[in-house]
Amino acid sequence: MSKYSRQREMILDALTGNRCHPTADWVYNHLKPDNPALSMGTVYRNLNFLVERGLVRKLSVPGEADRFDGQADTHMHFRCRQCGSLIDLKGEAAEEILDFARRFRDLTGLEMDPAGLVLEGRCEACSGDSPGNCS
Amino acid sequence: MSKYSRQREMILDALTGNRCHPTADWVYNHLKPDNPALSMGTVYRNLNFLVERGLVRKLSVPGEADRFDGQADTHMHFRCRQCGSLIDLKGEAAEEILDFARRFRDLTGLEMDPAGLVLEGRCEACSGDSPGNCS
DNA sequence: CTAATAACAGTAATCGTTACTATTATTCAA
DNA sequence: TTGAATAATAGTAACGATTACTGTTATTAG
C-alpha cells in the first residue's frame, strides 16, 4: 500500500529529533540545504501522511501555519497569545486536563479529544507587571 | 476616532440576531441582496473591528473559515469533528470549564483564556454505534 | 458649510495549503 | 534479475480565507 521513501524518513526524523513544534515551512527549510530537490508538496504530503498514521500530531494555531509534533507520548499544549510560545503540558498538567475531560463528558455527553488540544492564554512570564519581558 | 456606518450596524445586527455562528462569507451573502454594493473587505474590516471592541467573539476552527459569535454572555464552544456542529457551552458546562481554568492556573501558572475556547471532539449523537447518524 | 478623515467598494496581493502532471523510485512476482 | 505495477516525487499551478491598497463617499466637528 505505502512505499518507503527517503524524504518521508527525513521528515519524520526532523520532527522526532526535535523538541520544538515546527511548521511545514521550517521542516522544508531545515532539510532543503542537504536535499536541494525537496519540494514543499512532499513535506505537506508526508506530514499529513504521518499524522494519519498517528506518528505525528498536528497542532492548529489560529491565524498561523499549523505546527507538527513528533513526540510519541500523549500530551497537550498551551499557547501564549502574547509571546507566541507553545508550551508542552505533561505530567500533572496533562492529568488535570484528562480529569477535566472525564467530568466534562459525564456532565455534557460530549467526548472531547485531549490529543491535539491547544489551550490559549498568557504564560507566566507574560503575566508579570513588566511589559515586554517576553521578547 | 471611529465613525458611524450603516454597514457596520447591519453586520453587528446580523450577528446578534442570530443563534448560529456565521462565517464572514455567510454575513456577506446574508446582507448582499439588500445591499448590492457591500464588499467583502467591509465585512472583514467590521468583524475585526467589532471583535477588538469586544462586541463580537471570533472562533477559530482548524481548516475552516473563522466563525463569529454575537452573543453577549460569556460562553465557550464545542465542535464535533465528525458532524462539524458547533455547540454553545453555557451554565454548568461553562462553570466546569471556569473551575478547570482556575485549577490549571494554580497548578501551572498559565492563565488560560476561556473566552474564544473551542473544545474539539465527538458530540453525543456521533458517539453512538450507528454510523452516519449525524448527516 | 466646509475641511478633515473614517469608512467604503473594488480589486489586487498574500499566505498556507492542496491539486495536478509528468517523471522517478520502490516493490513484488515471474 | 528483470520488469510491470504503482507509490512517491519535484515542480508548478490553483485554491480559499483573509488582508492590503487605491481612489471615492460619507460622517463628523469646528
B29 in the same domain as B90: no
- Give Cβ neighbours of residue B79 (< 8 Å, ≥ 6 apart): B61, B85, B86, B87, B118, B119, B120, B121
Question: Which of chain A's residues have a Cβ under 8 Å away from the Cβ of B103?
Answer: 96
Is position B135 within any domain?
Answer: no
Is position A134 within any domain?
Answer: no
| pLDDT (0 to 100) of residue B61 | 95
What percentage of chain A has pLDDT greater than the value 90? 82
pLDDT above 90: residue B127: no
Per-residue pLDDT, averaged over A107-129, amounts to 89
Q: How far: A51 CA to D5 C1' (Å)?
A: 27
A50 in the same domain as A10: yes
CB atoms within 10 A of CB A112: 20
The span from the first CA to the last CA of chain B, in angstroms, equals 47
Last residue of a domain, one of B31, B53, B71: B71
pLDDT above 60: residue B135: no
- For an interface test with B, give the residue of A110, A117, A118 to mutate (most B CBs within 10 A): A110
Is position A133 within any domain?
Answer: no
pLDDT above 90: residue A128: no
CATH number, domain of B100, equals 3.30.1490.190
Burial code (b: 16+ CB inside 10 Å, e: under 16) for B75-86 equals bbbbbbebeeeb
Is position A128 within any domain?
Answer: no
Partnered with residue B76 across adjacent β-strands are B89
pLDDT above 60: residue A132: no
A64 in the same domain as A77: no
The count of domains in chain B is: 2
B109 in the same domain as B66: no
The domain of B12 spans 1-71
B58 in the same domain as B14: yes
Residue A35 contacts strand D, CB under 7 A: yes
Taking the CA of residue A74 and the nearest CA in chain B, the distance in Å comes to 16
A82 in the same domain as A35: no
Is position B133 within any domain?
Answer: no
**Contact residues for strand C with beta carbon within 7 Å:** A 3-6, 23-25, 40-41, 44, 48, 64-66; B 1-3, 5, 7-8, 35, 37-42, 45-46, 49, 63
A127 shares contact with chain B (CB less than 8 Å): yes
A83 in the same domain as A52: no
B83 in the same domain as B63: no
Last residue of a domain, one of A36, A51, A72: A72
Write the pLDDT tens digit of every residue in A60-71: 999 999 999 999
Give the C-alpha separation, A109 to A103, whole Å.
Answer: 10
Is position B79 within any domain?
Answer: yes
> Are B5 and B49 within 8 A, CB to CB?
no
Is position B130 within any domain?
Answer: no
For residue B103, which of A43, A95, A15, A10 has the smallest C-alpha distance? Answer: A95
Write the pLDDT tens digit of every residue in B16-62: 988 889 999 999 999 999 999 999 999 999 999 999 999 999 999 99
Give the C-alpha separation, A105 to B38, whole Å.
Answer: 43
Is position A48 within any domain?
Answer: yes
How many CA atoms, within 13 angstroms, populate the side-chain half-sphere of residue B61? 20
For residue B46, which of B18, B24, B16 has the smallest C-alpha distance? Answer: B24
